[in-house]
C-alpha cells in the first residue's frame, strides 16, 4: 500500500512499505519544509519492486483525496437537505391533521355530517395514531425549531389527545405512555387527556387540570388523594401538594360533569 511522506498513511490499494534515508522500514518520519521537485522517497514491495515518488505523484494522491472528501461532503449535505425536507413534510402533515380536526368541529360541518360526525372524527384520530406509530408523538425535535413555532403544528398532538380522552385512556393508553417514556410526550400534556376522561366518566379530577372546572368540587378531593397520587405516579408526575386538595366530605359530588362551565385551556409544555 502506498503511504504518504508525512505520516505513512495508506493512500492507494497496493501494499507497500515506506523507506526514507536513515529510517526503518515502515516507520513514519517527521518532515519539515517544502517537498523538493523530485522527493527522495521510495516505496517497495518486499524488496522486489521500487517506485519513485515525485512531488507530482504526491499532488496526484492529494487531489484524489480532495475529490473523495468533496464527494463525502456532498453526500452529507444531501442527507441534511433530506432531513430538512422530511421535517417540513411532517410539519405539513400535522397542519393538515389540525385543520381537519378543527373543521369538523365547526357548527356548519357538524350539522352537515350529523350522524356521520362520530365516524369522521374516528377516522381522523386513526390517521393521527398512524402518524404517531410511524414518527412518534409530535415534538420540536421531530419537525424542527422553526416549524414548531407554527400553531397548527404545535397544537396537533394536544388537540387529538384531549378530543379523544376515552380512546387515549383506554385502547391507546400504552402507545402514548410509551411516548412519554421516550421523552416525545410530556406527562403533563398526557395528564390533560386522562383527567378529561375521569371528569367525563366519574365527575372527578385526579390530575388538577383545567377540566376540574366541570366537576362539582372544582378541584381534586382530599378523599381521592390516594388515587390521584397513584395515577400521577404511573405517568411520571409528582404527587399534588397538600394545598391542591379540597375537602369534599360535606359536598354532594355528582358523577356527571357540567360542560357548560367555561374555562381557558392553554397547551402545556
Q: Which residues of the chain, if any, have pLDDT below 70?
A: 1-85
Q: Comparing C-alpha atoms, which of 207, 203, 242 is closest to residue 222? A: 242
Query: Domain-by-domain residue ranges, the chain?
Result: 91-246
Strands (E), the chain: 17-19, 42-45, 49-52, 220-221, 245-246
User: What's residue 111's pLDDT?
Assistant: 80
Q: How far apart are CA 127 and CA 234, in angstroms?
A: 27
User: What's residue 191's pLDDT?
Assistant: 98
pTM (two decimals): 0.69
User: What's residue 85's pLDDT?
Assistant: 54
User: What's residue 14's pLDDT?
Assistant: 35
Residues 150-161 pLDDT 10s: 999 999 999 999
Q: Find all residues with CB under 8 Å of 226, minimum gap 6, and list them.
A: none
User: What's residue 237's pLDDT?
Assistant: 97
What are phi and psi for residue 17, nearest 5 degrees? -120, 145
What is the distance between the terminal CA atoms of the chain, rounded to a whole angstrom? Answer: 58
Residues 38-56 pLDDT 10s: 333 334 444 444 444 555 5
Helix, strand, coil fractions of the chain, as percent rounded to 5: 55, 5, 40
- Read off the C-alpha cell for 183: 421523552
User: What's residue 104's pLDDT?
Assistant: 86
User: What's residue 259's pLDDT?
Assistant: 92
- Read off the C-alpha cell for 147: 416549524
Q: How far apart are CA 204 and CA 6, in angstroms?
A: 76
Q: Comparing C-alpha atoms, which of 170, 104, 163 is closest to residue 128? A: 163
Amino acid at each position: 500500500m502506498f503511504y504518504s511522506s508525512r505520516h505513512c498513511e495508506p493512500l492507494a490499494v497496493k501494499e507497500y512499505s515506506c523507506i526514507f534515508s536513515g529510517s526503518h522500514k515502515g516507520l513514519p518520519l517527521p518532515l519539515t519544509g517544502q517537498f523538493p521537485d523530485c522527493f527522495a522517497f521510495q516505496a517497495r514491495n518486499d524488496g522486489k519492486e521500487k517506485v519513485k515518488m515525485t512531488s507530482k505523484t504526491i499532488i496526484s494522491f492529494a487531489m484524489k483525496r480532495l475529490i473523495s472528501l468533496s464527494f463525502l461532503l456532498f453526500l452529507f449535505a444531501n442527507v441534511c437537505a433530506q432531513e430538512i425536507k422530511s421535517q417540513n413534510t411532517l410539519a405539513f402533515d400535522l397542519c393538515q391533521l389540525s385543520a381537519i380536526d378543527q373543521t369538523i368541529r365547526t357548527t356548519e360541518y357538524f350539522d352537515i355530517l350529523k350522524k356521520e360526525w362520530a365516524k369522521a372524527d374516528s377516522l381522523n384520530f386513526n390517521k393521527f395514531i398512524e402518524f404517531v406509530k410511524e414518527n412518534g408523538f409530535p415534538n420540536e425535535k421531530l419537525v424542527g425549531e422553526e416549524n414548531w413555532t407554527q400553531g397548527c403544528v404545535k397544537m396537533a398532538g394536544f388537540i387529538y389527545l384531549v378530543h379523544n380522552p376515552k380512546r387515549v385512556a383506554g385502547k391507546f393508553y400504552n402507545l402514548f405512555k410509551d411516548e412519554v417514556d421516550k421523552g416525545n410526550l410530556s406527562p403533563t400534556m398526557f395528564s390533560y387527556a386522562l383527567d378529561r376522561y375521569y371528569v367525563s366518566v366519574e365527575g372527578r379530577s385526579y390530575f388538577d387540570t383545567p377540566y376540574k372546572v366541570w366537576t362539582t368540587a372544582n378541584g381534586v378531593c382530599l378523599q381521592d388523594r390516594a388515587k390521584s397520587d397513584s395515577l400521577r405516579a404511573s405517568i411520571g408526575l409528582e404527587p399534588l401538594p397538600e394545598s391542591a386538595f379540597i375537602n369534599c366530605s360535606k359536598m354532594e359530588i355528582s358523577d356527571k360533569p357540567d360542560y357548560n362551565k367555561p374555562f381557558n385551556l392553554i397547551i402545556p409544555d
